[in-house]
Structure 1
Amino acid sequence: MNYQKITFLFLFLSFSLSAQIKQDSTANDSLKNTSKKGFFSDKDLSLIDSLVIETRYKSPLTANINYVIKGLEAKEKPTKKIPTSLLKERLKQLDNSSPFFIEYNPILENVINSYLKYRKKYYPALMAKAEYYFPMFEKYLDQFDIPLEMKYLAIVESALNPRARSRVGAKGLWQFMYLTGKQYKLNVNSYVDERQDPIKATIAACKYLSDLYDIFGDWDLALAAYNSGPGNVSKAIKRSGGYQNYWNLRQYLPRETAGYVPAFYATLYIFKYAKEHGLAPENPPIYHFATDTIQIKKTVSFDQITEVTGIETEMLQFLNPEYKLDIIPFVKNKKYSVTIPRNATIKFLEKEKELYALVDEDNAKREKPLPKYLELNQRLRYKVRSGDYLGKIAKKFGVRVSQIKKWNRLRSTNLKIGQRLTIFPRRL
């Protein structure tokens, strides 16, 4: 890659990730008790993760955060710490078999022991999710020539919850912000959020990681840049005197990134040596190879599919997390499909006419129409009503007051009833 292309790519990613970087700012607060040497206390270690999983996501890993933080582990069976010599040997084996620099150090040792102490009971359910998602991840990671170990990044990001949402609006398995997702072709509309689409979001994450690797030529640094942005990693390299090894420049990275990469390594270690630590997955709800997709011909709800075909709504929600309202829209020139268990495909096709007849029947009875399909980057014209003010309108459409003023060239916040405003909504 020539110099001009690298420079352009760096500037592009720096701009596109500016919003993404903000999502980790609150993680800074949780790590302020770290010592000058970079070592974490036991309490800090229970909180380390890219987005501090327990406080941000509803998932099997987040069920007992207050119990964990207070250290009330009396009901838990004590977990023995791994002998340092054995851990060194295992980390050396992982390092030899991966393109990452997985070196032993006390920080990583403490993170691993902390995870085994505080989260061990949650791993079987998490590993069951991995049985479904990991084969899908590996397919696209291999396609983009990315290390297969990068699949563990989705655990650190979202605990494998495709509907995970951070406090600042990052969504999906790979936690894309709206603007970053948009630049990687993840579209959002009133019915569908492609950041929550496991396949489309995985492809976007692969492209993102490939771009970061093109900049740094190192997977550890690409991993760090995924969290804090390429600008912060480049600054850390410069401040370290030019070091390219993550562990040599770690102290110059933002604190949340200093905890993020060890969280990734710890997750990788625990999954690789799950058996040695007495961990085994629960039975997964379904395997990815046991699913099929069918393109829909009318706007249809999960409830209607369940009523006609008998496929459980919970299964449809698990297999189709991108549909925000549990409704699959039918839109001209767009192809929306439903993912179902493969053993239900024939029945679905046999019942298809019956399904769409039910849709027509329900539409005829419905008093209130379904939400209008609208791309969230499309413009709409809003008519100011009595009681409206800019803050209220901004909240309604998920935008800022400053944006509304800019779009409409408003010099003040005063509005008139009947006034028309141009809005580019982010939600409806």
Structure 2
Amino acid sequence: MIVKKISIVVTAFFSMSMFAQDVAKTEVEIKPVVKISYLDSVKNTFKRDEMATRVDSLWMNELVSLDIYDDLTKDIQTINTDVTVDEELPTELLKQRLQAMNEKSPFDIEYNQGLENIIKSFLKNRKKSFSRLMALSEYYFPIFEDAFARQNVPLEIKYLAVVESALNPKAVSKMGATGLWQFMYGTGKQYALKIDSYVDERSDPLKATAAASEYMSKMFNIFGDWELVLASYNSGPGNVTKAIRRSGGKTKYWDIRNHLPKETQGYVPAFLATMYLFEYHKEHGINPQRAVVKNFETDTVQIKNQMSFKQIADLLDMPQSQIQLLNPSYKLNVVPFYQNEAHYLRLPKDKIATFVSNEDKIYDYVAYQSQNKTMSAQLALKVTPKAKAKLDKIIEPTDTDVKWYKVQKGDNLGTIAAKYNVTIPELKKWNNLKSNAVALGRNLKLKTDYDPVTKSFKELKSTIAVEKKSEEAIASADDKDKNNVHPQEYVVAAGDNLGSIAKKFGTTIAELKELNSLTSNNIGLGKTLVVAKAVPEIIEENVTTAIASNSSIDSFKKKATSTKNLGEDYYVKKGDSLYSISKKYPGVTISDIKKWNNIKDGDIKPGMKLKING
């Protein structure tokens, strides 16, 4: 009988175990309801138009890459036309090709040893650069040709932009010349190009090209020779006039070349060499990278309220680098709104369609963000002097605000600047860089709280931010380094999607897609994603409550959920910090724990018993 009872008990025990496993299994398979952000909820209502092609992200990176500009500028300034270059190109064949170019061009293209040396130098050292430049030319050359045709300027002058800026609208010379056509400030103003704190139209491809076309036309009326027009564009008409006088009144470029400034002596030959490489690239095995989006696949829309590139990128699910490519004249990555002045945003046609179809929702979202910033600023006034003192200490631009980025293969200052929403001059300033070249494996300094719009460190305006930053500053340095220095990664688990991951880490779907170069919302199980810095759920869930009620830090903390009770002892576990422990108890601060346990600094050890007084 006893054996029978034992058997029944054992059977019941195993039955309960199996039942528990089934329940656990069922619970694991239940997918939690994913809350989406206001941004994603707005985007979910958008009408879509998918008729245009996507932009090749690798090609987009060429916008913010200045390495070609640096290399070509250095070549033109230092190249010695008298040095023979060992490169396979028979002189007689070159003469025939130059003659063919001369017959269909208003330029006086004739063979000389100096031109041959430059062409061979480009072929030997710059083949890869020209392959990339030819991809960019598919976007910019139609703009140039249209403007030149209106002013009866030779279309071949489009190659001059390659020599001037390597087709980079953000290029800035050591003397301050800016844009595709490298206008100085005074010249830009002379040709009615707008330059202010927000806008620099020297970087606007359309307006700057129109100004360059007007300049070329005026100089031709003076000199009557297109080579001399190019020389005057580089060194100024005064230097060309002096060279003509010193040569005894000769009016051909090749006759006065030795009397021109040294840089100008290599300028026109570099232009002709560039024209040759573009015309005969196939014969030399230069395979152009293809530009997916060309100029005629874009359109503009007039902006009715100020908005940032970040807001546009988030709303339209597109990388900021693409917006920068199409709108290079906006200096601060912001489309401004002035009274009585029109500002336009250029986008791919499919994005224009989405923008126009959902304009009201887009402006509502921008207004919502502006309103939240205003409310947060008002809320910051309620911060206690003690908390304010901690905050002021935190937001000083010290080493605690620095993030480090290790340069990887394929990186350049432009791509890194675009990734972290800063500018190339800022990166150079922070790292004492004299040029745009950056070595593989070098650690670059980044200001984590730097605001590129205001050119200052961001103030933490809400009580939530004050609480979070103040306590993190006192927390262990190891925890802070772990969060700030290294990009955070997340392995996709069963049931995950971009929406749930974005919510978990306090970011957006658009940012996740840009960080991981995703072209769709599909993600594979087990894939490692780079995510934004994690935001504690307790803060994220109570943002709206704190702002709406204008609660102070203390009242906000009391609303936080907790799994611990006051008045009990707590034994420190591995990985604990005073900050993480204080979050387990409602209304408890780091200062409270230190006071109750006579802790002078933040050092605690695993196994240590802490008193948590009620």
- TM-score, normalized by length of structure 2? 0.48
Aligned to 1:366: 373
1:255-270 to 2 correspondence within 5 Å? 255-270=262-277
1:308-319 to 2 correspondence within 5 Å? 308-319=315-326
Deviation at 1:337, TM superposition (A): 0.7
Deviation at 1:314, TM superposition (A): 1.5
- Check conservation: 1:79, 1:116, Cα contact below 8 A: no
Supply the AA of the counterpart residue of 1:200: K
Supply the AA of the counterpart residue of 1:191: Y
Deviation at 1:79, TM superposition (A): 8.0
Q: Matched residues in 2 for 1:163 and 1:79: separation?
A: 34
Aligned to 1:17: none
Aligned: 1:94 with 2:113: no
- Check conservation: 2:170, 2:178, Cα contact below 8 A: yes
The verdict on how the C-alpha distance between 1:275 and 1:176 changes in structure 2, with shifts beyond 3 A counting, is: same
The verdict on how the C-alpha distance between 1:200 and 1:216 changes in structure 2, with shifts beyond 3 A counting, is: same
Deviation at 1:61, TM superposition (A): 5.0
Aligned: 1:159 with 2:147: no
Q: Which moved more, 1:83-92 or 1:276-285?
A: 276-285
Aligned to 2:143: 136
Q: Matched residues in 1 for 2:165 and 2:71: separation?
A: 14
Aligned: 1:58 with 2:66: yes
Q: Matched residues in 1 for 2:117 and 2:74: separation?
A: 21
Q: Matched residues in 1 for 2:251 and 2:294: separation?
A: 40
Q: Matched residues in 2 for 1:183 and 1:65: separation?
A: 25
Q: Secondary structure at the match of 2:214?
A: helix
Aligned to 2:230: 223
Aligned to 2:332: 325
Q: Matched residues in 2 for 1:304 and 1:59: separation?
A: 29
Aligned to 1:303: 310
Q: Matched residues in 2 for 1:250 and 1:66: separation?
A: 20
Supply the AA of the counterpart residue of 1:366: K
Q: Matched residues in 2 for 1:309 and 1:278: separation?
A: 39
Aligned to 1:233: 240
Q: Which has the higher contact order (CA 8 A, sep 6+)?
A: 1
Aligned to 2:195: 188
Q: Matched residues in 1 for 2:344 and 2:369: separation?
A: 20
Q: Matched residues in 1 for 2:223 and 2:275: separation?
A: 22
Corresponding residue to 1:251 among 258, 266, 291: 258
- Check conservation: 1:291, 1:341, Cα contact below 8 A: yes
Offset from partner CA, 1:8-61 (integer Å, 9 cap, x none): xxxxxxxxxxxxxxxxxxxxxxxxxxxxxxxxxxxxxxxxxxxxxxxxx82445
Aligned to 2:90: 83
- Check conservation: 1:59, 1:159, Cα contact below 8 A: no
Unaligned runs of 5+ in 2: 1-64, 78-84, 378-454, 457-614
Supply the AA of the counterpart residue of 1:111: I
Offset from partner CA, 1:331-359 (integer Å, 9 cap, x none): 11111010000122221112211211121
Aligned to 1:341: 348
Aligned to 1:277: 284
Supply the AA of the counterpart residue of 2:350: N
Deviation at 1:245, TM superposition (A): 1.3
Aligned to 1:204: 211
Q: Give the length in aligned residue pairs.
A: 308
Q: Cα RMSD between the aligned structures? A: 2.6
Deviation at 1:63, TM superposition (A): 7.0
Q: Matched residues in 2 for 1:139 and 1:88: separation?
A: 31
- Check conservation: 1:61, 1:122, Cα contact below 8 A: no
The verdict on how the C-alpha distance between 1:228 and 1:339 changes in structure 2, with shifts beyond 3 A counting, is: same
Aligned to 2:127: 120
Q: Matched residues in 2 for 1:65 and 1:187: separation?
A: 26
Deviation at 1:292, TM superposition (A): 0.5
Corresponding residue to 2:361 among 354, 357, 362: 354
Deviation at 1:364, TM superposition (A): 1.6
Offset from partner CA, 1:168-193 (integer Å, 9 cap, x none): 11100000011110000111111110
- Check conservation: 2:69, 2:168, Cα contact below 8 A: no
Q: Matched residues in 1 for 2:72 and 2:93: separation?
A: 30
The verdict on how the C-alpha distance between 1:139 and 1:66 changes in structure 2, with shifts beyond 3 A counting, is: closer
Supply the AA of the counterpart residue of 1:347: T
- Identity percentage of aligned residues: 50
Q: Matched residues in 1 for 2:300 and 2:350: separation?
A: 12
Offset from partner CA, 1:203-239 (integer Å, 9 cap, x none): 0001111111111011111011101111111111111
Aligned to 2:585: none
Q: Matched residues in 2 for 1:150 and 1:66: separation?
A: 21
Q: Matched residues in 2 for 1:61 and 1:214: separation?
A: 31
Supply the AA of the counterpart residue of 1:292: D
Deviation at 1:273, TM superposition (A): 0.5
Q: Secondary structure at the match of 1:82?
A: coil
- Check conservation: 2:72, 2:166, Cα contact below 8 A: no
Supply the AA of the counterpart residue of 2:178: K
1:5-16 to 2 correspondence within 5 Å? none
The verdict on how the C-alpha distance between 1:339 and 1:65 changes in structure 2, with shifts beyond 3 A counting, is: closer
Aligned to 1:179: 186
The structure with more radius of gyration:
2
Q: Matched residues in 2 for 1:124 and 1:79: separation?
A: 21
Q: Matched residues in 2 for 1:59 and 1:66: separation?
A: 11
Q: Secondary structure at the match of 1:128?
A: helix
Q: Matched residues in 1 for 2:313 and 2:304: separation?
A: 17
Offset from partner CA, 1:80-135 (integer Å, 9 cap, x none): 43100000111111111111111100100000000111111111111000000001
The verdict on how the C-alpha distance between 1:231 and 1:60 changes in structure 2, with shifts beyond 3 A counting, is: closer
Supply the AA of the counterpart residue of 1:131: E
